[in-house]
Structure 1
Amino acid sequence: MVLAINPQNPQPRLIKQVVDILKQGGVIAYPTDTTYGIGCDIFNKKGVKNIYQIKKRDPRKPFSFICADLSDVANYAQVSNFAFKIMKRHLPGPYTFVLEATRIVPDSVVTRQKTVGIRIPENAIALSIVRELGHPLVTTSANISGEDVYHDPLDIEDALGHMLDAVIDGGILRGDPSTVISLIDDRIDVLREGVGDISWIHQL
């Protein structure tokens, strides 16, 4: 099922429809500010398990997730003053920040080191979904692990639609993945260079 949602002004009725799917354990494809993602409610074990199966992903590799805003992040990660200043300056944006997890985070999205990857994308559709849902949304690229990422929601529907409960059409996205930065122990460590600019790191 493809749902066309306005990328600038997401229709509340359609956002609610998507959230109803998520609350029932559904898995969706949705736009971010980089690429399309596949996601579910992080607290729904069935949904998380399904995403691992859809992507054929190693279960030892946890997913990142999307929070609604910085105040929401503090519920799921240990945010020092240093980390808060960095994240406030660069979020919403195309970054995934790695922080120590709080106890509320399900094991399925926590690494062995008890860390989590958190995003606040600059995308009205994704953020509207998370706000309406009331807690984070799993985020992982819309593809089979190791294969090319799909940029067109209609291609996602053709390739993966039979395994998804909804594909949200927010337009064609040709971005690369987010830049992943660890802020553990108040140290900046770039784990993956992506869309997010990192030149600011050398100016600190």
Structure 2
Amino acid sequence: MEKHKEHISKATEILSNGGLLLYPTDTVWGIGCDATNETAVQKVYALKNRDDSKALVCLVAHQAMLERYVKQVPDVAYDIMDFATKPTTIVFDEPIGIAKNLIAEDNTLAIRVASDVFCQRMIQKFGKPIVSTSANISGEPTPTNYESISPKILKGVDYVVNLPLENKNAPPSSIIKLSNDGQVKVIRE
């Protein structure tokens, strides 16, 4: 836990200054930044060589934080989060207070409540959502361990949270789209 504190302190400092992190998420190694900072988000797109029309995922620390960044959280979202057996990302309509270049053209945003302790504590201390995208160049395979992360990614971030993934070999999260009109669509199981 002492190691967590050091990393959380440094990571939140980097996030506050618009920098990029490489960190272990509840699924894979991720690249992150302040999800409310348009310039920081643009750095993530540039590092990944990714078209900014391809939306990125945000992580929040808990459901109360989620409610601050989505105009209306459908009731079914709480059931999905409470009963999911693996990390689940939900695409919500009408995000608020988020960097414009994170929001998809249809005014939606993919958000996941972090399920691992380190991410929850880091995001809680930072006080805002953070970007979570796999630590790879767009089109390349998602690295399954730290050793397979591209040198370009390692050099392109401002800080590496050198902690092990809690769930080694965890699959990417499920993705479910919830529309305010009640429609539910499974995008990735």
Gaps of 5+ in 1: 1-5, 194-204
The answer on whether the counterparts of 2:27 and 2:171 sit within 8 Å (CA) in structure 1 is yes
Residues 146-174 of structure 1 show CA distances to partners (whole Å, capped at 9, x for unaligned) of: 11111322443734211111122222532
Gaps of 5+ in 2: none
Moved more, 177-186 or 131-140: 177-186
Q: Partner residue of 2:64?
A: 71
Q: Partner residue of 2:28?
A: 35
For the residue of structure 2 that corresponds to 1:186, the secondary structure is coil
Return closer, same or farther for 1:65/1:10 CA change in 2, 3 Å cut-off.
farther
**Paired residues for 1:1-204 under 5 Å:** 11-77=4-70, 78-90=72-84, 93-156=86-149, 158-171=151-164, 173-184=168-179, 185-193=181-189
Return closer, same or farther for 1:102/1:33 CA change in 2, 3 Å cut-off.
closer
Residues 24-47 of structure 1 show CA distances to partners (whole Å, capped at 9, x for unaligned) of: 111011111211111100122221
1:17 to partner: Cα distance:
1.1
CA RMSD, Structure 1 to Structure 2 (Å): 1.9
Counterpart AA for 1:178:
S
Q: If the length of structure 2 is used for normalisation, what is the TM-score?
A: 0.89
How many residue pairs get aligned? The number is: 185
Alpha-carbon distance in structure 1 between the residues aligned to 2:152 and 2:177 = 33
The answer on whether the counterparts of 1:156 and 1:167 sit within 8 Å (CA) in structure 2 is no
The answer on whether the counterparts of 2:81 and 2:88 sit within 8 Å (CA) in structure 1 is no
Residues 65-122 of structure 1 show CA distances to partners (whole Å, capped at 9, x for unaligned) of: 001101111111220222223223338x411101112332221111111111011132
Alpha-carbon distance in structure 2 between the residues aligned to 1:29 and 1:168 = 6
1:187 to partner: Cα distance:
2.4
For the residue of structure 2 that corresponds to 1:145, the secondary structure is coil
Return closer, same or farther for 1:121/1:137 CA change in 2, 3 Å cut-off.
same
Return closer, same or farther for 1:86/1:152 CA change in 2, 3 Å cut-off.
closer
Alpha-carbon distance in structure 2 between the residues aligned to 1:32 and 1:106 = 21
